[in-house]
Structures are given as C-alpha cells and as structure tokens.
Amino acid sequence: MKDSIQLLAAAVAFSIIAWMFWHFLGNGGVGVISAVALFLLIADNIRLRHKLKAEQRH
C-alpha cells in the first residue's frame, strides 16, 4: 500500500513538472531539450575520447 502511494505521488509530481515545463516554455521547450541533448552528447564524446587515449597508452 505504501509503495503504491509513493508511486502515485511521484507520478503526480512528474506530471506537474512536465506541465509547467511545456506551459511556461511552449514551443521553446523543444529547443531546450535539443540544447541539453547536444550538450550531453558533446560531454560524452569528450569523456570517451579521454578514455580512448588512456586505453591506447597501455
């Protein structure tokens, strides 16, 4: 019972956050998501390049 209440509370919280995101950003939300995804891809690429350099040294 306690788990289902926590799950329901989390679902309500995330749905409110999602509504606020799209309500306040509107069509700009797509740009924000794209910018965050691009930033994460660049960061992961840098991390993998460093890891590859370290592997090639050994």
**Alpha carbon 6 to chain centroid distance?**
22
Q: Could you identify the residue written with the tokens 């799950």? A: 7
Q: What is the pLDDT of residues 4-42, one digit of tens each?
A: 999 999 999 999 999 999 999 999 999 999 999 999 999
E strand map for 1-58:
none
Residue 19 CA to residue 22 CA, distance in Å, equals 5
- Give 40-53 pLDDT, tens digit per residue: 999 999 999 999 99
pTM: 0.70
